[in-house]
Structure 1
Amino acid sequence: MNAPTLRSALLCLSLFAASCRATAPATAPAPETPVTPAPAADPLLQGLTRLAQSQPDNPVLLYAVASRHAERGEGPQAEQWLKKLDALNWDHALEPGDFEAWSATPEFRALAQRFASREKPVSASQPAFRLAERDLIPEGIAHDPVTDTFFVGSIHRRKVVAVSKDGTARDFIPEARDGLWSVLGLKVDATRRHLWVASHAAASGKGITADERGRTGLFQYDLRTGALLRKVTMDGRPGAHLLNDVAIHASGDVFVTDSEAGGVHVLRAGSDALAPLVPERTLIYPNGLALTEDGASLYVAHYTGLVRVDPATGALTRVQPPKGTTLAAVDGLSAHGRTLVAVQNGIGRGRIVRFHLGGDPDRVERVEVLESSNPSFETPTTGTITGSDFVYIANSHVREVGPEGKLPPVDSLSPPVLLRLAL
């Protein structure tokens, strides 16, 4: 659920691209006249380029290579790769922030206009509720069907806010209580009356110390009282793990993505320790995950696509998209009947999409855009199914947080808006 900036996703891609590095050429004779020094070697760019060349129809990789060139100040190369993306008739508007200073050039603006012209605005969402604290930086949301209460987690304020059906908000878990770090994924276990919280010591978390950074864990709370029932943490190696989104099986098993490690863990009912379900370094920044209604399949979104996992064995298959579409760059993921509702925010401007599954659980038959070009969008992140509606965070502002966790001036942030979309 933690929406990655493109930079953080690229860093994860680099772990997979490292094996694609080009072999250094043999030393050439020194030239007789001075020449302009070549740009410094960039193993990440080299690996990404090779991946993109091997998958020329993968829009996420084309976008990533273009962004990396722009970050390096290489406008002509960035333009070249965006033209490859344009040739695929990509219909997702570009996010200027992914292209650094180059986004101010006429070349970028011309391409951005072409992409934006293809992204047909879809507007079907209605206001659900609004929260007052501008610096909440909300990321995860869950719903308790028993009390009709929503729970919204805060990255910056390190707390969980409960919102009743009349829109009244209160702190369900106050700031940093129980050692809670930044709040990412949330899930309600309505049967057992528990709230599960994935938490990570992010640099943007209020009061997070340097020694805490990178710590991550699962927190289990009593829905009736708010009392902490259990806290299961990963090892404290900086950057080794990032527990992100949560799914709960009818059996009581709890599944959680580990975005930094590239895997999925499971806390089996009755166990006090997380165990690997999908091994580390299998996926590129795994994020949202959702169990089908029968509990037979666990769908996991990662930066370059979607996989289906057997919750019992961890057996994994890659889900195939319809031609000319992508299942990649998804943050929040929810199951609804034979469909998956996804917040696609990893590249371009955010949008809400629905993946229609057919008879083959490993193939999406159709990708439907449910909401796009919404003026309230400032990096939508995650949502939750409530009956036949999808309620989601429209403006998390996570991309406006600086690389060292510094927030912009509070007055520049809009109050958190939650929208409701009929399914």
Structure 2
Amino acid sequence: MKALLSSAYMLLTCVTSLQAQSSSDSLSILAQYQKFIQVYTAKDYSQCVNIGSQLQKRLEHPNVLYKLAQCQCQSGLTEQSLALLGQLAVLGLPYQPEENENFQALTTHKNFLKIREQFAQNRQPVQNSSKAFELSDPLLIPEGIAATSQGEQFFIGSLAKNKIASYTPLAGEHDWVASQQDGMFSVLGMKVSKDGQSLWVCSASERDSLNGYSGIFQYDISTGKLRHKYVLDNKTGAHLFNDIVITRKNAVYFTDSKGRQVLTIQPNTNQIVPLLKEVDFIYPNGIAMDEKEENLYVADLTGLTRIELTTGNYYRMATNQVTYLNGIDGLYIYKGTLVAIQDSGNNDDRIIRLYLDKDKKKLAKAQTLQSFHPDFVIPTTGTIVGDEFFYIANSQLRNLNPDGSYTNSEKLKKPLILKLKLSPKI
């Protein structure tokens, strides 16, 4: 879930949610980001460079780097600005610095043309998707999607209506879990268990006295009945269970975006506990587990973290200057690679495939599978069926307010599910 707005807005949202909680390194980073945005907005370029240079060492988010490059240029630091723009261009960002007045001083520089050309190449659309199916309700605001192993049945969750819809190619769509059934909150990430018997659902509330409540719901797929329900309240802090993975033995791991942790459910006590107490993520979101069930991959605002389930060791994934790893929402494993739905912070969403080195500590290659689709309105999550990736193309999250009301509801479109063939390794 992209926290209603862009990656940049998500950072500011995190500052607000963290300020009510205990002091931490994450809070320090986010507070520093907030100050950076303030001086950038005020056009205090000298302060912007000072704060941004410090922030860059801790949060290499494209939104931060692009704004820092602008402030460097405005402060007369043209070489530093060009170098940072060049770094962003190599990583595949689609910016247009030639249209930004803050880079006016660079337009005659000999290296600027080459950088412009790289950015222009990054903006070339990659179109590999086709329509899978469409749902009827424009007010659904879907965020999570899951499917049975052969794609006989799809499940689509609604943020706005606190329900789960079912779609089958033969029978079409119907409500599978009715609105607020079983105490369901807004529906986020979902997964079908490896044995195909259960649907596991992340759900969270941001409304009234229940703001910060979150739960994991397990449903029997054959009957549609609730098997188990695990809920955390907001008494010791806010929670937002965002996405989930399940092992073959039905052990579950899920991200808590507001709680800044990866959580699991103890099989003997049914208690929700942190997987790694010492790790403090910044809005953890997508989560994936490799085929051998040895490693978890967790996306947060700073990038990707790999967690070894056997040892508890964890590693920040190095980009190796292949691409950027920020802004990832849905995250999936496919034949030893990662498939991700990603937002650069510039409203240019894309679907990428990430190839890891043999030690699984840094990227080896990156492949854009889809970018600049005309129907994209904040794509969020997907599900892999065989060799195809099905995903929500137009969640329209920005039209849903925290109180459950809509903005410009008359302009909302029917939810569209696209699919693409996962191409061979490059």
Question: CA offsets per residue over residues 88-111 of structure 1, 9 Å max, x none?
Answer: 24333359xxxxxxx9x9638999
Task: Please state if 1:409 is matched with 2:412.
Answer: no
Which residue among 178, 182, 185 is the counterpart of 2:182?
178
Judged with a 3 Å threshold, the aligned counterparts in structure 2 of structure 1 residues 197 and 298 are, in CA distance, closer, same or farther, namely same
Structure 1 residue matching 2:139: 3-state secondary structure: helix
Q: What is the aligned partner in structure 2 of residue 359 from structure 1?
A: 358
Q: Number of paired residues?
A: 385
Task: Please state if 1:107 is matched with 2:109.
Answer: no
Q: Which moved more, 1:237-246 or 1:86-95?
A: 86-95
Taking only the aligned residue pairs, the percentage that are identical comes to 34
Q: What is the aligned partner in structure 1 of residue 65 from structure 2?
A: 62
Q: What is the aligned partner in structure 2 of residue 30 from structure 1?
A: none
Q: What is the aligned partner in structure 1 of residue 296 from structure 2?
A: 298
Which residue among 146, 164, 169 is the counterpart of 1:165?
169
Judged with a 3 Å threshold, the aligned counterparts in structure 2 of structure 1 residues 197 and 318 are, in CA distance, closer, same or farther, namely same
Q: Which moved more, 1:393-402 or 1:147-156?
A: 393-402
TM-score by length of 2: 0.79
Retained in 2: the 8 A contact 1:289–1:333? Answer: yes
Q: Separation in 2 of the partners of 1:82 and 1:399?
A: 32
Q: What is the aligned partner in structure 2 of residue 334 from structure 1?
A: 332
Give 1:241's aligned amino acid.
H
Judged with a 3 Å threshold, the aligned counterparts in structure 2 of structure 1 residues 132 and 89 are, in CA distance, closer, same or farther, namely same
Q: Separation in 2 of the partners of 1:391 and 1:48?
A: 41
The equivalences for 1:7-406 within 5 A come to 7-12=9-14, 16=25, 18-19=27-28, 49=52, 51-54=54-57, 59-63=62-66, 86-90=85-89, 91-93=92-94, 107=101, 115=119, 118-145=122-149, 148-166=152-170, 168-191=172-195, 193-203=197-207, 210-237=208-235, 240-279=238-277, 282-345=280-343, 347-348=345-346, 349-402=348-401, 405-406=404-405
* Root mean square deviation of aligned Cα: 3.6
Judged with a 3 Å threshold, the aligned counterparts in structure 2 of structure 1 residues 184 and 286 are, in CA distance, closer, same or farther, namely same
Cα deviation, residue 125, structure 1: 0.6
Judged with a 3 Å threshold, the aligned counterparts in structure 2 of structure 1 residues 66 and 237 are, in CA distance, closer, same or farther, namely farther
Give 2:93's aligned amino acid.
H
Judged with a 3 Å threshold, the aligned counterparts in structure 2 of structure 1 residues 212 and 46 are, in CA distance, closer, same or farther, namely farther
Cα deviation, residue 11, structure 1: 3.9
Q: Separation in 2 of the partners of 1:287 and 1:178?
A: 24
Q: Separation in 1 of the partners of 2:233 and 2:401?
A: 26
Question: CA offsets per residue over residues 312-352 of structure 1, 9 Å max, x none?
Answer: 44321111123152122100001001110000025221100
Structure 2 residue matching 1:86: 3-state secondary structure: helix
Structure 2 residue matching 1:272: 3-state secondary structure: coil
Cα deviation, residue 57, structure 1: 6.1
Give 2:62's aligned amino acid.
P
Give 1:216's aligned amino acid.
S
Structure 2 residue matching 1:88: 3-state secondary structure: helix
Cα deviation, residue 274, structure 1: 1.1
Retained in 1: the 8 A contact 2:212–2:233? Answer: no
Structure 1 spans left out of the alignment, 5+ residues:
23-37, 70-74, 96-102, 204-209
Structure 2 spans left out of the alignment, 5+ residues:
19-23, 33-40, 108-115
Judged with a 3 Å threshold, the aligned counterparts in structure 2 of structure 1 residues 166 and 106 are, in CA distance, closer, same or farther, namely same
Runs of 4+ in 1 over 6 A off after TM superposition: 38-41, 45-48, 64-67, 80-84, 108-111
TM-score by length of 1: 0.80
Structure 2 residue matching 1:145: 3-state secondary structure: coil
Q: What is the aligned partner in structure 2 of residue 25 from structure 1?
A: none
Q: Which moved more, 1:334-343 or 1:230-239?
A: 230-239
